[in-house]
Amino acid sequence: MTNYIATPTRTKAILNKYNFAFKKSLGQNFLIDVNILQNIIKHAGIDKQTGAIEIGPGIGALTEQLAIHASKVVAFEIDQRLLPILKDTLHDYSNIEIVHKDILKANVVEIIKENFPSNHDIHVVANLPYYITTPILMKLVRDKLPVSSITVMIQKEVAERMAAKPNTKSYGSLTIALQYYTEAEVVMTVPKSVFMPQPNVDSAILRLKLREKPPVYVEDEDFFFNMVKASFAQRRKTLQNNLKSYFKDRYDKETINVILEKSGIDGQRRGESLDMSEFAQLANTFIKRERKATAE
């Protein structure tokens, strides 16, 4: 079968048949290039020994390619209008399960248990809507899903932020949040011309390999992430000033300087110059200080 969904002609025919109108609120942009899809699958490491989870299958362009290459595909679709279209476009494939649920509200761990054998090698592969990329990825990594990797097509600028290194313009709190749980790499950039309708920005394929354990030890993950976020609140400000603003109700400037000194970190540096281990050291020093204050 070579009459794939992911071509301009077939996509137009499907949209016309169902009189489908794109919903801007759902960030719907359908891929119309089979080569791009096959590249995504290759980068995701999908083969007949692996299972795939997809988010937002649309009219089934990526789903079809996943079904050809993977043992089984479970796809989450929130838009009810697409369910009959998917039933039609994917009727030749018996290894696809469409789940009509919002991925952000679904119990993904339970759905994986229901659909895949235990210890099956599972990968998340998706063309994610731009407007909701970060909440979806953070849910997937924080829910500790039994998956090996997450390979997603997302806005190029966001992909660069997630895979950034310290001392770069793209590096920030999002970088640290994602890289705490995963090894992140931009494997390919994608022009806007391969989508229907064309988005306003270029895309990139980001591959996240799930870590068995974080690369740094932190006493309190929530505190760590909040402190990191505060350190980037105003990028032009020094670490000392950003932390002073964040902790204004708890610590005075002198106390913050003492904590920075104990952490071995110069408060005149900016957040973007600290690597993850330095942020972990700083967060753990704050936690120790808090415990000491509580004990007194």
The H helix count followed by the E strand count for the chain is 12, 9
Contact in structure between 232 and 172 (CB atoms under 8 Å)? yes
Which residues pair with residue 208 across a beta bridge?
150, 184
Q: CA 89 to CA 20: how far, in whole Å?
A: 14
280 sits in which H/E element: helix 276-295
Give the separation between CA 20 and CA 54, rounded to whole angstroms. 21
CA dihedral 172, 173, 178, 179 (to 10 degrees): 60
CA distance 135 to 123: 18
Long-range pairs of 253-260 with CB within 8 A, sequence gap ≥ 24: 255/289, 259/285, 259/286, 259/289
278 vs 166: CA distance, rounded Å: 11
Tell me if 56 is assigned to a ligand binding site: yes
Please check if 77 is assigned to a binding site.
Answer: yes
Q: Is 29 annotated as a binding residue?
A: yes
Is 31 labeled as ligand-binding?
yes
3-class secondary-structure state, position 45: coil
| Euclidean distance between CA atoms 190 and 79, whole angstroms | 25
Only one residue has tokens 């309708």, namely 197
Dihedral sign, Cα of residue 172, residue 173, residue 174, residue 180: positive
Residues flagged as binding site: 29, 31, 56, 77, 102, 127
Residues flagged as binding site for S-adenosyl-L-methionine: 29, 31, 56, 77, 102, 127
